[in-house]
Structure 1
Amino acid sequence: MVSTGAVPNLAFRRLRGQRSAGEFAAAVRRAAREIGEQVACDARYIGRVESGEIRCPNYAYERVFLHMFPGASLADLGFSARESVRGRGARSGSAPSVPSAPEAAAEAPSAPSAPPVPDESHHTDEESDVLRRVFMMGGTATVAAASLGLGGPPASAAGVSLPAQRRVGESEVDAVEQAVRRIRVLDDRRGGDGLYRQAARPLRAAYELLDTGATTRRAVSDRLHAGAGELAISVGWLAHDSGRFEDARSHYAEALATARLAGDAGLEAHAFCNTSFLARDAGRPREAVRAAEAGQRAARALGSPRLLALLALREAGGRAGLGDRTGCDRAIGRARAAFERGTAAGDPEWMSFFREAELELLEAQCWSALGDWSRAARHGRRAVTLQDAHFTRNLALYRAQLAGDLARAGRVEEAATTGHQVLDLLDRVRSSRIRGMVAGAARVLEGRAGGVSGAESFLTRHRGLGGAHPALPEGASSGRS
C-alpha cells in the first residue's frame, strides 16, 4: 500500500523506458550479480519505487542502481537523500515495521556466490538499510548510547549520553568498541545461545549513533563505522553459534555493506571471513570458497599474515565441502606458511582466538569433511592439547569435534571419554552448535557401543541431559568471529 502523500518517482520511471516492470526487475537482478550483490527485485518492488513509496533504496540496491547508470547519483534517479528518509517512523509517532530475519536476509548484501535462482514467490522490498529495519524501533539517541553496556538497566550500563548538539564524540565511540569487546569475552566463556538477544540492544544503539548526528572529526566517524560493523559481526556470530543462520547472514551482510561504504578493508576482510564460515556451516561450500577468496583480496594490504592464514583456512573448509582434496590441501599449506610468519602489528584485535590450537582444529575439520577421520582426530588431539583454558567455550568445542572424529574412526572408548569431558563443560557453555556436535557423536556411538562400558555410560549421561539436539552439518564448528 502506497504511503499517504507519496510523490511518484518520474525520473526512475523514465529510466525503465519501454520495458515492463518485470523485465526491468530482471535487469536489476542481472546487474546485481555482475557486482557480486544479491537483491530480491521483482515487478512489485519497481512499482513501489515508481509510486514514491520507496523514497531511498537500501545500500545493496543503491550499489546496483549506480552500477546500472554510471555517473548518476541517487538524486538523478529520483530518490531522496538517505538522511532525509531515516527516522520517519519515530517522527510520525509509529515504529517502522520489522521484517522477519529471513525476509531481511533476502535483501541483505552478501558475499559473492554462485548466481541465485530468483524465487518469484517470495521477495521483499526494504526501503532502508537492513539492520535499521530489523532493529531500530524508535527511542532517543541518549537511550541508545546508554544501551551500549551489555546487560543491566540502561542507566547503569555504560553511563554514556549524547551532548545536546547531537554530536557523536570519543565517549560514544569508546562505548561501541567496549560493547564489542564485552560480547567477545562473554562468548569465549559461555557461548552464543544466551547472549544473542542481549547483544541486539547494543547493536541497535550503535546504528542509532550512526543515524542521529554528525561526528566531530573524520577519525571519529571512521572508528564509529568500524565499531558498528564489528558489532554487527559479533552479533552475527552469536546468531551463527546458536543456530540462527539466516539472522547471522543478515548481520554479516550489513557489516560488509558498512565496510564498503566506509572503505574499511579490515572490516571487509572480517565480514568475508565470517560469511565464508557461515556458508560452510550452512552447506554452501562454493560460496564459502568465493567469500574466503574475496576476504583474502581485501586483506592483502593489511600487513597481517595471521589474517591471511585464517582466510586460507576458511577457503580450505569450503574446498573440503566440495570434495576438492587437492585444493583443500593447497589452501592448508598456504595457511600454515602464513601462520608461521608469526604475529604482526597489522593483526586485528578480533583474532585473539586464532592461535595454533585453532589452526589445528580448522585443519581437523577439513579432513573430517573429506572423510579422513583418523587424520582429523590427530589434528583434533593437538587442538585440545594446545587450547588455552581461558577459552572455555572452545575447550568444549574442540573436544566435541574430536569426539565425533574419534567415533567415526572407530575409537569408541576414546570418543566416549572425550564426550564425557564435553558434557562436563555444558553447564557453563551454552552453544547449540556444540550440543549439535555432541549429539552427532552420540548417534555414531549408538551403533558402535557394542557393550563398551565407557560408551554406554556416555550415551546414558547424554540422554539424561536431554541430548536430543539436532546435529549441524559435518564439521560445522570452529572458533568465533
Structure 2
Amino acid sequence: MKRREFLAATASTTVAVAGPTQRRIGVGDVQRLQTKFADVIARDHLHGGRKGIETDALALAEKAMALQQVGSASQRVRGLLYATAAAFTSSAMWAAIDGRRFDAAQDHHRRASSLAAMSGDPTIAFRIWSHAGSLYRHMGLVIDAQAANDVARRLSITRCDPLFASLGHARHAAILGLTGDANAVRRAIDQAQGALDQADPAADRPTWITNHYDQAELDSLALAAHLALGSFEEAEARAHRSLAVLRPHMKRSRGITTARLARAQLGQGDIDQAVHTAMSVPKDQAAHPRVAGMLGSFGRSVHELAGADSNARTWDQWVNDTRRNST
C-alpha cells in the first residue's frame, strides 16, 4: 500500500513541476510578425526620420524577442526570431540616422549587430553594417565609415548576390567622396554599376533591399559622392538620372535628390535655376530633418552668392511660406 501511495505522490509531483505544456513557436509566428516589416519600410520611404517610426520599430523588435521567451522553438525558428528583431532594430537605427539622432542610432547599431550575430543571417548583418557606414559618413567620421562599410562588403552575401555587392560599392563611393579621391570614387561607382548590371532582378531577396536599392539609388549615391568632390556638373547629371527612374513610393528620396540637385546647380553658378529647383521640393519633404538641413545650407550659400538680389528674396519668401504652412 505504501509503495502505491509513494508512486502516486511521485507522479503528482512530476506533473506539478512540469506545469502546463509550453506553446510551440513556429515559422508562422515569425511570418506574422514579419508582415509588419513591410509597413515600417513603406513609412520610411514616405516620411523617413520620424521618431514614431523609430519607436514602432523598436516595439516590434521587442515582440520578436518576447516570442523567444514564451514557448519552445527549433533552432531555425530561434534564428529567424533573432533576425527579425535585428531587422526591426536596424529600421529604428535608420530612422534615427535619417532624423539626425546620431547617439540613438549608435545605440541601436550595437543592439542590432548583436542580434544579427545570434541570428547567423548575413543579409541583415549587411544591412546593419552598411547603415553604420552611412551613419559615420553623415557624422563626418570618414575612417569609421569606411571600416563599417568594409564589414558589410566582406560578408558572404556580397559574393552570392551582386545586388548586395553593388550597394556596398555605391555606399563606398559616397564615403570616398569625403576623402577627395576622385579616381577612387569613379572606380567604386563603376564597380557598383557592373555588379548592379549582373544582378538577377527576379532573385528572392529581403523587402528592405528590393524596395530601396536600384539604379535610382545608385545614381543618388554617386550624386552625393560627386557633390562632396565638388564635381558639380557630374553631380547634376547623376541627379537627373536618379530622378528620371525614381520609383513613385520613394517620396523621401525624391526630396533628398532634388535638394542635392539644387546644390549641384548652385555650385555651377546657376543661382536662378538652383533656387527654382530647391523650391520644387514638396513642403512635407522640406520638413524632413535631412532635407531641412540641406535646404538650410543651400539658403546660406544663396545669400553668400546673391547677396540681397531677387533670387535671395524669392528664396526667403519660399522659406517663410513653408514654415508658416507647416505650423
Residues 232, 251 of structure 1: 8 Å contact kept? yes
Residue from 271, 279, 283 that aligns with 1:412? 271
Alignment of structure 1 residues 167-316 onto 2, 5 Å: 167-193=24-50, 194-210=52-68, 212-300=69-157, 303-316=160-173
1:383 matched to which residue of 2? Answer: 242
Taking structure 2 as the reference length, the TM-score comes to 0.84
CA distance in 2, matches of 1:400, 1:176: 36
Q: Which amino acid aligns with 1:280?
A: R
Cα distance change, pair 305–428 in 1 and its aligned pair in 2 (3 A): same
CA distance in 1, matches of 2:285, 2:46: 8
Cα distance change, pair 213–288 in 1 and its aligned pair in 2 (3 A): same
CA distance in 2, matches of 1:393, 1:301: 27
| CA deviations over 1:84-113 (Å, ceiling 9, x no partner) | xxxxxxxxxxxxxxxxxxxxxxxxxxxxxx
* Alpha-carbon distance, 1:359 to partner: 0.9
* Runs (5+) with no aligned partner, structure 2: 1-19
CA distance in 2, matches of 1:350, 1:427: 23
Percent of aligned pairs with the same residue?
25
Alignment of structure 1 residues 36-435 onto 2, 5 Å: 165-193=22-50, 194-210=52-68, 212-300=69-157, 303-344=160-201, 345=203, 347-351=205-209, 352-422=211-281, 425-427=282-284, 431-435=288-292
Cα distance change, pair 360–455 in 1 and its aligned pair in 2 (3 A): farther
CA RMSD of aligned residues (A): 2.3
CA distance in 2, matches of 1:214, 1:265: 26
CA distance in 2, matches of 1:456, 1:166: 67
| CA deviations over 1:358-399 (Å, ceiling 9, x no partner) | 111100100111121222112112112221222211111111
Cα distance change, pair 355–455 in 1 and its aligned pair in 2 (3 A): farther
* Alpha-carbon distance, 1:342 to partner: 3.0
Cα distance change, pair 314–399 in 1 and its aligned pair in 2 (3 A): same
CA distance in 2, matches of 1:459, 1:410: 19
Aligned residues: 302
* Runs (5+) with no aligned partner, structure 1: 1-162, 468-481
Q: Which amino acid aligns with 1:289?
A: Q
Which protein, 1 or 2, shows the higher relative CO under an 8 Å CA cutoff with sep ≥ 6? 2
* Alpha-carbon distance, 1:198 to partner: 3.5
Secondary structure of the 1:465 match is helix
Residues 392, 429 of structure 1: 8 Å contact kept? no
CA distance in 1, matches of 2:157, 2:293: 35
Secondary structure of the 1:354 match is coil
Cα distance change, pair 356–230 in 1 and its aligned pair in 2 (3 A): same
* Alpha-carbon distance, 1:213 to partner: 3.6
Secondary structure of the 1:413 match is helix
CA distance in 2, matches of 1:307, 1:239: 23
Taking structure 1 as the reference length, the TM-score comes to 0.59
CA distance in 2, matches of 1:406, 1:203: 42
Residues 22, 71 of structure 2: 8 Å contact kept? no
